[in-house]
Amino acid sequence: MTQAANPNQNNGTNNGIRHDWRIAEIEDLLAKPFNDLLFEAHTLHRQYHPANEVQISTLLSIKTGACPEDCGYCSQSAKHATELERERLLPISEVIEKAKIARTNGSSRFCMGAAWRNPTDKNLDKVIEMITEVKALGMETCVTLGMLTEQQSQRLKDAGLDYYNHNLDTSPEFYGNVITTRTFQDRLDTLQHVRDQGINVCSGGILGMGENTTDRASMLQQLANMPQHPESVPINMLVQIEGTPLYGADGIDSIEFIRTIAAARILMPQSQVRLSAGRHEMTDEMQAMCFFAGANSIFYGDKLLTTENCETNDDLALFQRLGITPSQAEAHSSEPAADEDMFKAEACHH
Ligand code: SF4
């Protein structure tokens, strides 16, 4: 086993932050003694982020279900027989009302997700209106709409969009086991369009879909070797939904999950690592470990956007027990992406 590389060493890249990780090095990181790995990740975390702050985003599904893609984890695919109810694009007034509730509940960023393979230009007009109005509330905005052309990315930038979420989902090698209606390269292309426009990138993946440790290392390598790391890296834990092809997949052990969070922190020290889908299936202790390992962002789901805010209260109670405070929106800091409630059905990882 080779020695894991020092994340602070300067390889001629940005401020000593590396973009040239080898899969074997990442596998070695993941295999370190747990205490050593967490110590390294937490030490680095403190160099780049406030130690006791977690950023909160709220995600609203603005268009649910009937998606032509076949993502094996997603109940919104028209190809899977799930019980999800389809919804048309929400009216702007409803979106703004939800954004106001999210703001009251402490969210600094409002994320809007639509189950499209890609938006039509007409759909984009409506989303742009939503972005403008949510920004007028003083919140950061993020959208996840599927694949984008260069021109559509430019329109979103012109509208003042802060973040675009587009997850890699898994490793290039395992990708075909999860999705067949698009390629890994399609994902990279959209991310490039978004990056070219100077929009902050939110991109991560899902663990527990039957992938192995090398796949996890490979997915992290793809993210960490981008010329500019995603500002936000959501790490999701698959929530299995009956009727989807990945129902019954081998899940991920909680210690392995925490290890992956720690590795993401070490590989991408400046990024916000987001605890996303699957969080509500984790114990408080597991979430606490994830925060120690470097997770510093969470999603509130859209259940929180109803009058019952018990989940918000649970989250805030956990924050209080841990001495964590929600961080406020910064002038373009970092990230957004998925929670089980967030897309009413489970992580939409456009
Ligand atoms: S994850 Fe997104 S793109 Fe994939 S099926 Fe679900 S809604 Fe469609």
pLDDT per residue rounded down to tens, the chain (350 residues) = 333 344 334 344 456 799 999 999 999 999 999 999 999 999 999 999 999 999 887 888 888 888 888 899 888 888 887 767 677 888 999 999 989 888 887 778 889 999 899 999 999 999 999 999 999 999 999 999 999 999 999 999 999 999 999 999 999 999 999 999 999 999 999 999 999 999 999 999 999 999 999 999 999 999 999 999 999 999 999 988 888 898 988 889 999 999 999 999 999 999 999 998 888 889 999 999 999 999 999 877 655 444 344 466 778 889 899 999 888 644 333 333 333 333 333 344 55
Contact (Cβ atoms closer than 8 angstroms) between residue 333 and residue 310: no
Question: Which pLDDT belongs to residue 317?
Answer: 86
Left, alpha or beta for 11 (phi > 0: left; psi -120 to 50: alpha)? alpha
Local structure of residue 138 (DSSP, 8 states): T
Question: Which pLDDT belongs to residue 134?
Answer: 94
Question: Which pLDDT belongs to residue 44?
Answer: 95
Report which protein residue has its CA nearest ligand 1's atom 5. Answer: 77
Q: How many whole angstroms from 218 Cα to the centroid of ligand 1?
A: 22
What tokens appear for 129 in the block? 């209106």
Query: Which residues are known catalytic residues?
Result: 67, 71, 74, 111, 142, 202, 274
Question: Which pLDDT belongs to residue 269?
Answer: 97
Phi, psi dihedral angles at 200 (to 5 degrees): -65, 140
Ligand 1 neighbours, Cβ below 6 Å, are 67, 69, 71, 74, 76-77, 115, 146, 348-350
What tokens appear for 259 in the block? 């290890």
Residue corresponding to tokens 């299995």? 240
Question: Which pLDDT belongs to residue 281?
Answer: 86
- pTM equals 0.85
Question: Which pLDDT belongs to residue 278?
Answer: 84
Q: Where are the beta strands (DSSP E) in 132-204?
A: 140-144, 163-165, 200-202
Q: How many whole angstroms from 233 Cα to the centroid of ligand 1?
A: 18
Contact (Cβ atoms closer than 8 angstroms) between residue 194 and residue 154: no
Dist CA 22 CA 185 (whole Å): 20
Query: CA distances (Å), 73 to each of 113, 206, 214, 264, in order?
Result: 16, 9, 20, 22
